[in-house]
C-alpha cells in the first residue's frame, strides 16, 4: 500500500497525465463495451419486431376485413368469390384445398420419411448414412417452384397415363410432389429423435435376443415417439404453408372438395393469385389476402407449438 | 426330452424368419431412399433434356418476350442478383450480431427466453406470410414501393433464423478455454468476440449464410406477394455511374423480377415453347441452389474433419 501511495506522490509531475489518460482510456473502453452490447441486443430484438410486425399487419388488415364480413360467414359460407360482383367469403373453400393437398402430401412423406429415418438410424452402414444425409438435404434445398414445374409437366401426365380422366390441374400430383419435398424434414427430425435414444435400451433389447427390426420397431420407435410426432407435426405445418407447388400444379379455382383428383385453390395459392393481379391497396379484395394469411398463420402456429411441446418432451425423457 | 430336436428346428425357423424380416426392412429402407433419389434424378434430367438446348448466350442477355424463342432471363437474373445483394447486406450483419448476443452476452432472463422462443417460431412461419408482412409494412406503411429494397428486406427477415441458428451453433463449438485465454491477457469481452470468437466461428457462419441465401434465391411466394412483375423489359438503374458520386441507390426503388418468378410465369403459360423456357430457367435455378448447398455441405464436412480443439 505504502509503495503505491509513495509512488503516486513521488511521480506527481511525471505520471499524473498517463494515469488520467489511462483512466480516460478505460472509460471509453467501458463505454464502447456497453455500446457494442446494446447494438448486439438490438440486432437480437429484430426477430421479436418481425413477429410483432407480422401480427400487426395481419391483424390490422383483418380487422378492417371483418368489419365488412361477419366472422360467421367467413367460417361457414361454402363459396369463395371475393373478386366477383356476388361476393362470398367462405374460407372453408380454400381450407378444403389446403387440407386435401396436405393430406396427400403426408400420406407420402410420413411413411417414407419414417422408413428412411429408421433405416438410416438403425440399419444403414456408416458410409451409406454419410452419403444419404447430405443428399436428402439437397432434396430439401430445391426451390419449390421447380417442384411445381415437375408436378405439372412430369407427374400429372404420368398419372394421366394410368388414370386418363384426371384433369390437368389436380391436388393429387401437387400433393404427391409436395410429399416428396417434405420427406427430408420428416426424416431428419425423426432420425435425430431416434439417435437420441440411449444405446443401453438397444443393448438390452439385443441381449434379450431381439433382431434389429424388432428392436427398431418395439424399442427405439416407442422411445422416440414424441420426437417422431413432432417431426410429423412440423411436416404438416410445412405442407399447409407450401405455396408454389399448389399455385402451379393444382390450379387456382376455389373449389370446395376433399377429392384429390379435382383442381382446387389453397389459401396460399389464393394469396398468390391476388398478388399477381392488380388489386388496389385498401380494397376488400386486398384485405382478403390478409384474412387468409391470418388463418394460415394461426393454423401453422398451432402445429408449430404442438411440435415444439412434443420435441421438448422427448428431450427431457433421457 | 423327446421334443428337443423339433424345438431346435422350430427355433431355427423362427430365427431365419426374423432375419428375413430384418433383410426385408433394410430393402424397404433402401427403396424409400431411392424414391427420393429417383424423383430428384427424374426432375433434374427432365429439366436438363428440355432446357439445355435453350441455354445459349442469348437466353441470358435477352429480355422476356411474347415470342418464346426470343425470350430470355436478363431482367430476372439481374433482379435476383440485386435482391440477393440487399438480402445478404441485411441478414448477415443482423443474424451474426443476434447470434453473438444470444451466445456470448445474453443474461438468463425472460427477455432472452422470449427472443429464443421467437426465433424458433419464426423458422416455422410459412414464407408467404413474410410476403404479406412486407406488403403491408414495407410497401405501404414505409412507402418503399414494390421495389428491390422491399423484396430484399422480406427475404432477409425470412432467412434471419437460419443465419442466427448457424451462428449460434458455430460459436457454441468454440471451447471455453479460448475465451479464458483471451480474458487472461486483459482483453475485454468485445475484443475477445471480435478477435477470437468471430474469426474461429466464421466457417460455420458462412455455411449457414450460404444455405440461407440458397433458400432466398429460390423463394417465389413472398416476392410475388410484394408485387414483383412477371414481365419486365428493362433493367434497374445501374448501381455504378461515371459521374461523381459514382454510386447511386436508385436501383433499390426500381421495379424488378426474379428468376423463380420468371420461371413461374413461363410455367403457367399454355404454350409448350414457353415451358421449354421454364425448363431452362429451372435448370439454371436448380444448378445454382445445388452448387450453393453443395458448397455449404462440403464446407461443413471439411470443418468437422479439420478443426479439433
| Model confidence band, residue A5 (pLDDT cutoffs 50, 70, 90) | very low
A56 and A80 part of one domain: no
Q: How many domains does chain A have?
A: 2
Q: Are A177 and A249 in contact (CB under 8 A)?
A: yes
> Taking 80 as the threshold, does the pLDDT of residue A189 lie above it?
yes
B103 and B22 part of one domain: no
The count of other CB atoms within 10 Å of the CB of residue B141 is: 13
The pLDDT value recorded for residue B4 is 56
A64 and A99 part of one domain: no
A149 and A284 part of one domain: yes
A60 and A80 part of one domain: no
| Model confidence band, residue A225 (pLDDT cutoffs 50, 70, 90) | confident
Mean per-residue pLDDT over chain A, rounded: 85
Q: For B237-293, give the DSSP string.
A: PPSB-SSTT-B--GGGGS----HHHHHHHHHTSS-HHHHHHHHHHHHHHHHHHHHHH
The pLDDT value recorded for residue A297 is 93
Q: Cβ of A109 under 8 Å from any chain B Cβ? A: no
Residues 6 or more apart in contact with residue B214 via CB below 8 angstroms: A141, B288, B289, B292, B293, B296
Q: Cβ of A31 under 8 Å from any chain B Cβ? A: no
Closest CA to B200 of B176, B221, B170, B159: B170
| Model confidence band, residue B5 (pLDDT cutoffs 50, 70, 90) | low
B273 and B243 part of one domain: yes
- Among residues A41, A68, A95, the one where a domain terminates is A68
Where helices occur in chain B by DSSP H, the ranges are 4-51, 57-61, 74-100, 110-123, 127-133, 148-172, 176-184, 189-192, 198-218, 221-226, 259-267, 272-306
B212 and B102 part of one domain: yes
**Residues of chain B contacting A138 with CB distance shorter than 8 Å:** 40, 290, 293-294, 297
Q: What's the CA angle centered on A262, arms A261 and A265, to 5 degrees?
A: 130
Q: How far apart are CA A141 and CA B216, in angstroms?
A: 10
B22 and B164 part of one domain: no
Q: What's the CA angle centered on B164, arms B158 and B166, to 5 degrees?
A: 110
Q: Give mean pLDDT, residues B188-210.
A: 91
Q: Give mean pLDDT, residues B230-236.
A: 72
Q: Which residue in A has a C-alpha nearest to residue B189's C-alpha?
A: A33
Q: Are B255 and B146 in contact (CB under 8 A)?
A: yes
**Residues of chain B contacting A58 with CB distance shorter than 8 Å:** 129, 132-133, 136
> Taking 50 as the threshold, does the pLDDT of residue A3 lie above it?
no
Q: Give mean pLDDT, residues A99-103.
A: 93
A286 and A250 part of one domain: yes
A315 to chain B nearest CA, in Å?
16
B192 and B296 part of one domain: yes
The pLDDT value recorded for residue A38 is 93
A55 and A97 part of one domain: no
Q: What's the CA angle centered on B164, arms B160 and B165, to 5 degrees?
A: 120
> Taking 80 as the threshold, does the pLDDT of residue B1 lie above it?
no
The pLDDT value recorded for residue A4 is 44
The pLDDT value recorded for residue A9 is 46
The pLDDT value recorded for residue A252 is 81
Given CA atoms A204, A206, A210, A214 in this order, what sign does their dihedral have?
positive
B9 and B155 part of one domain: no
Whole-prediction pTM value?
Answer: 0.87
> Taking 80 as the threshold, does the pLDDT of residue A195 lie above it?
yes
A46 to chain B nearest CA, in Å?
8
How many CB pairs (< 8 A) connect A and B?
Answer: 262
B42 and B125 part of one domain: no
Given CA atoms B198, B203, B205, B210 in this order, what sign does their dihedral have?
positive
A56 and A88 part of one domain: no
B112 and B244 part of one domain: yes
Q: Which residue in A has a C-alpha nearest to residue B211's C-alpha?
A: A141
> Taking 50 as the threshold, does the pLDDT of residue A6 lie above it?
no
Q: What is the residue range of A282's domain?
A: 76-317
B211 and B112 part of one domain: yes
Q: What is the residue range of B42's domain?
A: 4-52
B43 and B64 part of one domain: no
> Taking 80 as the threshold, does the pLDDT of residue A154 lie above it?
yes
| Model confidence band, residue A10 (pLDDT cutoffs 50, 70, 90) | very low
Q: How far apart are CA A149 and CA B40, in angstroms?
A: 13
The pLDDT value recorded for residue A15 is 52
Q: Give mean pLDDT, residues B30-56.
A: 88
Q: What is the CATH number of the domain that holds A86?
A: 1.10.3720.10
B48 and B61 part of one domain: no
Mean per-residue pLDDT over chain B, rounded: 86
Lowest mean pLDDT among A128-142, A166-180, B209-223: A128-142
Q: With 0-12 CB in 10 A as exposed, 13-18 as middle and 19+ as buried, what is B4?
A: exposed
| % pLDDT > 90, chain A | 36
B38 to chain A nearest CA, in Å?
11
Cell 450460404 locates to: B210
Q: Cβ of B142 under 8 Å from any chain A Cβ? A: no
Q: What is the CATH number of the domain that holds B300?
A: 1.10.3720.10
- CB–CB of A153 and B279 under 8 A? yes
> Taking 80 as the threshold, does the pLDDT of residue B232 lie above it?
no
> Which cell numbers hold the place of A295?
388463418
| Model confidence band, residue B3 (pLDDT cutoffs 50, 70, 90) | low
A174 to chain B nearest CA, in Å?
14
- The residues facing B247 across adjacent strands are B240
CB interface of A with B, residues 133-162, below 8 Å: 134-139, 141-150, 152-154
Q: Give mean pLDDT, residues B206-213.
A: 91
| Model confidence band, residue B253 (pLDDT cutoffs 50, 70, 90) | confident
User: pLDDT, tens digit, for every residue of B259-307?
Assistant: 898 888 888 887 888 888 889 999 999 999 999 988 988 888 887 776 6
A150 and A232 part of one domain: yes
Q: Are B83 and B151 in contact (CB under 8 A)?
A: yes
Q: How many domains does chain B have?
A: 2
User: pLDDT, tens digit, for every residue of B61-98?
Assistant: 888 877 777 788 888 888 899 999 999 999 999 999 99
Q: Please count the CA atoms within 13 angstroms of the CA of B130 that sit on its side-chain side.
A: 30
Whether the bond into A314 is cis, omega within 30 of 0: no
- Rounded alpha-carbon distances, angstroms, from residue B57 to A211, B98, B279, B281, B286: 59, 42, 16, 13, 18
| % pLDDT > 70, chain A | 93
User: pLDDT, tens digit, for every residue of A36-54?
Assistant: 999 999 999 999 999 999 9
A214 and A176 part of one domain: yes
Q: Are A284 and A61 in contact (CB under 8 A)?
A: no
- Among residues B52, B72, B91, the one where a domain terminates is B52
**Residues of chain B contacting A240 with CB distance shorter than 8 Å:** 126
A55 to chain B nearest CA, in Å?
9
A81 and A62 part of one domain: no
**Residues of chain A contacting B135 with CB distance shorter than 8 Å:** 57, 275
More confident residue, A15 or B27: B27
Q: How far apart are CA A282 and CA A61, in angstroms?
A: 9
B127 and B18 part of one domain: no
Amino acid at each position: 500500500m505504502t509503495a503505491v501511495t509513495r509512488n503516486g506522490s513521488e511521480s506527481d509531475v511525471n505520471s499524473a497525465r498517463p494515469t488520467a489518460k489511462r483512466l480516460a482510456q478505460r472509460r471509453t473502453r467501458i463505454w464502447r463495451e456497453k455500446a457494442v452490447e446494446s447494438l448486439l441486443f438490438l440486432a437480437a430484438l429484430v426477430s421479436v419486431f418481425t413477429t410483432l410486425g407480422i401480427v400487426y399487419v395481419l391483424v390490422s388488415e383483418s380487422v378492417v376485413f371483418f368489419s365488412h364480413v361477419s366472422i360467421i360467414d367467413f367460417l361457414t359460407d361454402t363459396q369463395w368469390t371475393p373478386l366477383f360482383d356476388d361476393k362470398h367469403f367462405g374460407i372453408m373453400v380454400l381450407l378444403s384445398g389446403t387440407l386435401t393437398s396436405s393430406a396427400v402430401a403426408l400420406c407420402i412423406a410420413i411413411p417414407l420419411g419414417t422408413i428412411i429415418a429408421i433405416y438410416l438410424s438403425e440399419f444403414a452402414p456408416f458410409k451409406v448414412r454419410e452419403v444419404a444425409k447430405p443428399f436428402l438435404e439437397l432434396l430439401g434445398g430445391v426451390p419449390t417452384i421447380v417442384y411445381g414445374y415437375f408436378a405439372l409437366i412430369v407427374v400429372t401426365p404420368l398419372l394421366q397415363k394410368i388414370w386418363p380422366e384426371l384433369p390437368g390441374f389436380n391436388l393429387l400430383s401437387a400433393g404427391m410432389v409436395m410429399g416428396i419435398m417434405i420427406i427430408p424434414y420428416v426424416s431428419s427430425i425423426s432420425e435425430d429423435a431416434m439417435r437420441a435414444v440411449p444405446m443401453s435400451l438397444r443393448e438390452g433389447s439385443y441381449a434379450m435376443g431381439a433382431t434389429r427390426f424388432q428392436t427398431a420397431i418395439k424399442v427405439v420407435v416407442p422411445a422416440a415417439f414424441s420426437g417422431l410426432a413432432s417431426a410429423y407435426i412440423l411436416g404438416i405445418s410445412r405442407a399447409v404453408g407450401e405455396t408454389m407447388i399448389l399455385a402451379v400444379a393444382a390450379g387456382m379455382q376455389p373449389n370446395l372438395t376433399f377429392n384429390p383428383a379435382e383442381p382446387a385453390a389453397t389459401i396460399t395459392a389464393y394469396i398468390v393469385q391476388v398478388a399477381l393481379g392488380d388489386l388496389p391497396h385498401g380494397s376488400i379484395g386486398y384485405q382478403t389476402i390478409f384474412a387468409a394469411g391470418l388463418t394460415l398463420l394461426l393454423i401453422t402456429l398451432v402445429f408449430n407449438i404442438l411440435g415444439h411441446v412434443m420435441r421438448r418432451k422427448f428431450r427431457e425423457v433421457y | 426330452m423327446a421334443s428337443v430336436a423339433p424345438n431346435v428346428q422350430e427355433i431355427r425357423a423362427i430365427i431365419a424368419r426374423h432375419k428375413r424380416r430384418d433383410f426385408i426392412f433394410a430393402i424397404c429402407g433402401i427403396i424409400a431412399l431411392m424414391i427420393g433419389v429417383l424423383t430428384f434424378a427424374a426432375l433434374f434430367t427432365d429439366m436438363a433434356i428440355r432446357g439445355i438446348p435453350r441455354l445459349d448466350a442469348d437466353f441470358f442477355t435477352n429480355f422476356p418476350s411474347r415470342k418464346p424463342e426470343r425470350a430470355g432471363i436478363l431482367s430476372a437474373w439481374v433482379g435476383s442478383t440485386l435482391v440477393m445483394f440487399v438480402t445478404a447486406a441485411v441478414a448477415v450483419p443482423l443474424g451474426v450480431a443476434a447470434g453473438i448476443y444470444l451466445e456470448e452476452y445474453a443474461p438468463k432472463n425472460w427477455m432472452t427466453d422470449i427472443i429464443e422462443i421467437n426465433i424458433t417460431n419464426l423458422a416455422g412461419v410459412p414464407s408467404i406470410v413474410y410476403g404479406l408482412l412486407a406488403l403491408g409494412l414495407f410497401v405501404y406503411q414505409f412507402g418503399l414501393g414494390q421495389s428491390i429494397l422491399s423484396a430484399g428486406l422480406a427475404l432477409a427477415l425470412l432467412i434471419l433464423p437460419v443465419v442466427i441458428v448457424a451462428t449460434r451453433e458455430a460459436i457454441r463449438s468454440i471451447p471455453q478455454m479460448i475465451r479464458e485465454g483471451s480474458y487472461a491477457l486483459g482483453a475485454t469481452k468485445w475484443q475477445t468476440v471480435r478477435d477470437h470468437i468471430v474469426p474461429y466461428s466464421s466457417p460455420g457462419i458462412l455455411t449457414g449464410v450460404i444455405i440461407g441465401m440458397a433458400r432466398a434465391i429460390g423463394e417465389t411466394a413472398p416476392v410475388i406477394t410484394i408485387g414483383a412483375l412477371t414481365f419486365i423489359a428493362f433493367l434497374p438503374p445501374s448501381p455504378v455511374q461515371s459521374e461523381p458520386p459514382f454510386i447511386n441507390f436508385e436501383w433499390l426503388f426500381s421495379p424488378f423480377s426474379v428468376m423463380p418468378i420468371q420461371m413461374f410465369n413461363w410455367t403457367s403459360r399454355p404454350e409448350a415453347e414457353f415451358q421449354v423456357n421454364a425448363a431452362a430457367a429451372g435448370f439454371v435455378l436448380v444448378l445454382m441452389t445445388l452448387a450453393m448447398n453443395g458448397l455449404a455441405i462440403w464446407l461443413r464436412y471439411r470443418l468437422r474433419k479439420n478443426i479439433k480443439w
